[in-house]
Amino acid sequence: MFFTRRFTTIVILSLQGFLFQVNGDPYAWLENIEGEKALAWAREQNESSQRALEAHPDFGQIHRETLKILQSKDRIPRVSRRGRLWYNFWQDEEHVRGIWRRTTLEEYKQAKPAWETVLDFDRLANDEKENWVYKGVDVLEPFNDRAMIRLSRGGKDASVYREFDLKRNTFVQNGFHLKEAKSDLAWIDRDTLLVATDFGEGTLTSSGYPRTVRLWKRGQSLQNSPTLLEGEKSDVGLWTFTLQTTSGPIGFIRRSRTFYKGEYHYFKKGKTYRLPLPENIRLSGYHSGQILVQLKAQWKVNRGFLPRGALVSLPLNKLLQGSIMPQVIHVPDNRSTITSVHVTTNAILINSMTNVTSRLLRYTYNNGKWTGTSTAENFTNGVLSINNTSPYHEDYTFSFQNFLTPSTLYHVRGSKGPTHKLKQTPDRFDTSDLKITQYWVKSRDGTPVPYFLVGKRELKANGQKPTLLYAYGGFEIPMRPWYSPTVGANWLSRGGVYVLANIRGGGEFGPSWHQAALKTNRYKAYEDFIAVAEDLIRKRITSPRHLGIRGGSNGGLLTGVAFTRRPDLFNAVVCQVPLLDMKRYTQLLAGHSWIAEYGDPEIPDIWRFWEKWSPYHNLSRKQKYPKVFFTTSTKDDRVHPGHARKMVARMKELRHPVLYYENIEGGHAGAANLKQRAYTQALAYAYLLQQLK
């Protein structure tokens, strides 16, 4: 009987492998996100994996410590200034879904501020019998008395928008309301919105985003509102936004032809005007009659060239007349980049980064010229974040942190005014015996790649240290030395080493660093990652037995490639909300929007590349892999949970060890609230300790 069962199993597995190679994907049924069979499969995997990981002796303590950190009352309440009031979204053990609340600056400075609750999302969800998750808010400026609240069912990107009265703290009866969709909107005035949403059949792009923008007047039917701009089905989508000026908001529409290229249209008096700008720019602000533009490629203007990565200004009134008169404000060098641009009444602030640490610049515009100076010079070797800037006032806030320095929030009054400390996060773990080191390693093609290492001051080079390597490497998103209390408490405090790699594909060194790893050059990001792993082993900081990797989303693809290409280097892999099937990714949810990043697998040359790198297609029965831990979310409507589901099913078919956890809600973040986040983190760290210590 045993022999018969075993023989039957072998035949079935062999047949499945044959079908996978010849007839396509035998696990396509797992792409049915909320299908009864697929969800039953996910719950079955959850049960066995949770049982295995919760059994780790440290799981309970990690879970409790993580939840305590995430729900701690002494966290810095992150605030957004709206006129004289400062708003904060807050979650803790009493407010699982969260509350939106506000206070004054003087009250905020107190150790225990008095807050006024504006909207309680736990109460709202209970009253309306909906699984509401707060996803953001758009406030009408400069009046700050109305807002559009964004509500998601279970954490999905698709959301409901509802108008809210900030004086009465109630939803506006018969106010603006958008049904659930991947929408975008912007206030023009109290009675007018620019709206991009699902208007019905034929109004979405292939990526699932809006392809039309309408002008919606109060009291007017949305379906009967006039169309301002319509894109093509092949576009990524259309987006609306405003730039605030001292005379009120200026409306814009961006038509994204690809993820990185598109058109900007200026809105005025019911009409739109396309701005004569290159397709690969980012419109970053407005100051003194000038629009501020970041260049993602070299721009030929008249007889000269403006450099890639530069921030330039152009007079808007001249631009609308077709006259292109750019002025260069700031040009980063080849080890620097601009991470963000912020506008105040009298200046612009450029948050830049050199060798992956922050530097803040302040520029003023006088007599037709820009003049810049460095500011916040005492804050080095870390991350600066600028917030609460506005053309309506000169003051702003900024925070500073690094791997071992908890975030501290400051308030700056005026151009030369004092800097006041507002709040500081308490130490969440002991840093007295830890240090940060930045190393550089040459990738396979000779490109120097930096990485940060956090560990003991006296780190013995014996190859025995449990080491966690993290990276992202995509979409021009830089990985910066943030303070992470959960990494500190759950990993560093247990003797682990933490490594953050700044590989190509990210935004650490500007557009060129990102563009070096696009489409069929994606392998350069993966080679950078492998080079860092090999350098850690070569330095005898760790060894393959004690080296683990972690990444999410695009970083999940990275870790998927890493363990299928070089399983000999790793003994633990945490692969979160990942892309893994690079043959079908464009057909799954928002995947079509990332063609500019990964290329279109329908093009033979593109698929020839990905056929060798796609994790789902490069699993082998003969190869020995580490036991991998995959996590995803049923409610993730950005990266399809089918990627992780199918990868796990395929690995089980090939009899490779694998763990899986699918949060039934949570969206692309993987968790809808702090309790879910703490639990998922505890599973991940229990797994890492199990594999690496």
Annotated catalytic sites, by residue? Answer: 553, 668
CA–chain centroid gap for 107, Å, is: 32
Q: Using the 8-state DSSP alphabet, how is residue 210 labeled?
A: B
Give bridge partners of residue 576 from the DSSP assignment: 552, 631
Torsion angle (degrees, nearest 10) of CA 302, 304, 310, 312: -40
The H or E element spanning position 526 is helix 523-538
Buried b (16+ CB within 10 A) or exposed e, 213-240: bbbbbeeeebeebeebbebeeebbbbbb
Q: Is 510 exposed, middle or buried (0-12, 13-18, 19+ CB in 10 A)?
A: buried
Token pair listed for 279: 């397709």
Residue with tokens 């109630």: 170
Beta strands in 491-649 (DSSP E): 497-501, 547-552, 572-576, 628-633
- Sorted by sequence, the CB contacts under 8 Å of residue 611 that are 6+ apart come out as 583, 617
Closest to 310 measured CA to CA, from 286, 349, 336: 336
Contact assessment for residue 570 and residue 542, using Cβ atoms and an 8 Å cutoff: no
3-state per-residue secondary structure call for 130-174: CCEEEEEEEECCCCCCEEEEEEEECCCCCEEEEEEECCCCEECCC
Token pair listed for 95: 């407010």
Cα dihedral 663, 667, 673, 679 sign: positive
Give bridge partners of residue 265 from the DSSP assignment: 253, 274
- Give the span between the Cα atoms of 364 and 394, in whole angstroms: 12
**Cis status, amide bond into 142, omega within 30 of 0:** yes
Q: Strand, helix or coil at 665?
A: coil
